[in-house]
């Protein structure tokens, strides 16, 4: 158990809908990272937050957004969902400020768009 929690575990929704994925980092970790994993693209970095502020952006679509709250949990919002958004979404956290290469991953949310 990495100490990173993610909810929900599974999510099934229809095209065009909006969903919110939630992540709680390990106790004391200030940085949160979001990743998307699909069979053809592998694990892709989406976005990083450090202590409530956006720190780095990767291949995140404009339809996706994220935020980190004062209690350090983070949410990833996916809107106008398309079939191609079906994937595993992982959150990771790290201990060192402002970021660290050693990231600890949550169990993921499996999103299925039908």
Partner 1 sequence: TQLLEQSPQFLSIQEGENLTVYCNSSSVFSSLQWYRQEPGEGPVLLVTVVTGGEVKKLKRLTFQFGDARKDSSLHITAAQPGDTGLYLCAGGGSNYKLTFGKGTLLTVNP
Both tokens of 107, joined, read 């169990």
Among 44, 65, 79, 86, binds partner 1 (CB under 8 A): 44
Quick one: three-class SS letters along 78-111? ECCCCHHHCEEEEEEEECCCCCCCCCEECCCEEE
52 lines the binding site for partner 1 (CB under 8 A): no
Interface with partner 1 (CB under 8 A), residue total 24
Instruction: Give yes or no for a contact between 103 and 50, defined as CB atoms under 8 angstroms apart.
Output: no
Among 43, 54, 69, 112, binds partner 1 (CB under 8 A): 43
79 lines the binding site for partner 1 (CB under 8 A): no
Both tokens of 92, joined, read 């990771």
Phi, psi of 36 (to 5 degrees): -115, 135
5 lines the binding site for partner 1 (CB under 8 A): no
Considering the complex, state which of residue 59 and residue 80 has its C-beta at the smaller distance from partner 1.
59
Both tokens of 35, joined, read 């990743």
- Helices and strands (DSSP H and E) totals, the chain: 0, 11
Which of these segments, 13-21, 39-47, 67-75, 78-86, binds partner 1 (CB under 8 A)? 39-47
Residue ranges that bind partner 1, judged by CB under 8 A: 2, 4, 33, 42-45, 48, 56, 58, 90, 92, 98-108, 110
């Amino acid at each position: 158990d990495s100490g990173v929690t993610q909810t929900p575990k599974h999510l099934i929704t229809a095209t065009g809908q909006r969903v919110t994925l939630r992540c709680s980092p390990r106790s004391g970790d200030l940085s949160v990272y979001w990743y998307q994993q699909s069979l053809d693209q592998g694990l892709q970095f989406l976005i990083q937050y450090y202590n409530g502020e956006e720190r780095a952006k990767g291949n995140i679509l404009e339809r996706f957004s994220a935020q980190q709250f004062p209690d350090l949990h983070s949410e990833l919002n996916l809107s106008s969902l398309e079939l191609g958004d079906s994937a595993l979404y992982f959150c990771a956290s790290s201990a060192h400020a402002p970021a660290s290469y050693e990231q600890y991953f949550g169990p993921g949310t499996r999103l299925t768009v039908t």
